Amino acid sequence: MSRTSSSSPTLAEIARLAGVSVPTASRVVNGRQNVAPDTRLRVEEVMRRAGYERRPRPDRTGLAPLIDVVVPGLGGGWSAEVLRGAELAAAEAGFGVVVTSNGTDRSAGDGTPGQAKRTLDRLHAHGTAAALFALTELPPTRHLWLTVHRIPYVVVDPGTEPPPGVPTVTADNLGGGRRATEHLLDLGHRRIAVLAGHRRTPSSAARVDGYRQALRAAGLRHRPEFIRYARFDAALAERLTGELLALPEPPTALFACSDEMAAAAIRAATLRGLSVPGDLSVVGFDDLPEARRLLPQLTTVRQPIADMAADGIGLLARAMSGEPGESLRAEHPTHLVVRGSTASPRT
């Protein structure tokens, strides 16, 4: 992502250059504690060389431009991470934030056209300056609506593939799905199932593609009965895991395309008297705080959700300044975090 030499870099760019998270960079910028001395020096040096200028915080009297952050629901850990990253970056960029729920949750998928229209009507009614959509399906007519009303917007983890030129932030979902499956293969598993999200959601489809790639590279053919679409719904994921475990030749390992579905899979195995990871190894995706509170702690693929949202605010600021949309795309890396929910299969 290019930037003119005369413009100050965003906080997200400083964090990336220094190899730290956005919250850590913010603590250095604001002179707060809980930062290691060598980390503080590294961030300050990056700020100096990049010409970073600390932006004033939003004027709470209403003079600051308002950005709507639209999330699928307010009750889940995924949305909480989005809001954490977006609010921090918006404050540094001098924006106020309005949190808007589109009336669904992550398991409900993309919602309905009526819900999407009501969400956009609310944005227009309170005069938003721009919008950040997270895990939201925007049909072509809604993209057109935003263009006609001249509302700059960025999509984080889109529910459907956006039109060309729309600023977008994603994670390396394909690589994450592949690494999760490779980890289970390296442990010796050969009967590996996958709990997918929605069939047509790009992130979910890419994770399943990564799963298939890893199996092919290992000389294995995927079994159709081992691929189940749970739509990010915990109750459905638990039921589908029960169906997998009831197969004549059940899987010894399972890759769930979200931490919430992975937790449901562990619950389903435990209710059937099976142990995790003794009888079933489980890998999740997201690395939400809940992953470390499970017993056993969850092996999962980490995607930097808060940093993705912060990067989205940075892209939004650039879009508002009139930079061409073709260059406003970012993909964040994912990596595997190994904990206690995976082990070699029993012989």
pLDDT of residue 233: 93
Q: Which of 326, 324, 291, 321 is nearest to 8 (CA)?
A: 321
Lowest mean pLDDT segment, chosen from 3-12, 39-48, 318-327: 3-12
In this predicted structure, the answer to whether residue 205 has a pLDDT above a threshold of 90 is yes
User: At 160, which helix (H) or strand (E)?
Assistant: none
The residue with greater pLDDT, 141 or 269, is: 269
pLDDT of residue 117: 63
pLDDT of residue 175: 98
Lowest mean pLDDT segment, chosen from 55-64, 255-264, 296-305: 55-64
In this predicted structure, the answer to whether residue 136 has a pLDDT above a threshold of 90 is no
Between vectors from CA 314 to CA 70 and to CA 328, what angle results, nearest 5°? Answer: 95
The residue with greater pLDDT, 51 or 212, is: 212
Lowest mean pLDDT segment, chosen from 20-24, 304-308, 338-342: 20-24
Query: Taking all residues of the chain, what is their mean pLDDT, rounded to a whole number?
Result: 84
pLDDT of residue 28: 75
In this predicted structure, the answer to whether residue 57 has a pLDDT above a threshold of 50 is no
In this predicted structure, the answer to whether residue 5 has a pLDDT above a threshold of 70 is no
Tell me if 111 sits within 8 A of 335, measured CB to CB: no
In this predicted structure, the answer to whether residue 72 has a pLDDT above a threshold of 80 is yes
Q: What percent of the chain has pLDDT over 70?
A: 84
Instruction: Write out the E strands in 29-152.
Output: 66-71, 96-101, 130-134
pLDDT of residue 326: 53
Residue type, 216: R
Q: How far apart are CA 241 and CA 320, in angstroms?
A: 45
pLDDT of residue 31: 62
User: 0.85 cut: is pTM over it?
Assistant: no
Q: What is the pLDDT averaged over residues 94-104?
A: 78
Lowest mean pLDDT segment, chosen from 50-54, 158-162, 191-195, 201-205: 50-54
In this predicted structure, the answer to whether residue 109 has a pLDDT above a threshold of 50 is no
Residue type, 132: L
CA distances from 125 to 72, 112, 153 (A): 20, 20, 16
pLDDT of residue 163: 83
Q: What is the pLDDT averaged over residues 269-285?
A: 97
pLDDT of residue 56: 45
Most confident of 26-30, 84-88, 274-278, 323-327: 274-278
60 pLDDT band (50/70/90 cuts)?
very low
Tell me if 313 sits within 8 A of 152, measured CB to CB: no
Tell me if 332 sits within 8 A of 5, measured CB to CB: no
Which position has the token pair 């808060």?
Answer: 306
114 pLDDT band (50/70/90 cuts)?
low
Q: What is the pLDDT averaged over residues 83-109?
A: 77
Q: What is the pLDDT averaged over residues 152-181?
A: 91
In this predicted structure, the answer to whether residue 126 has a pLDDT above a threshold of 90 is no
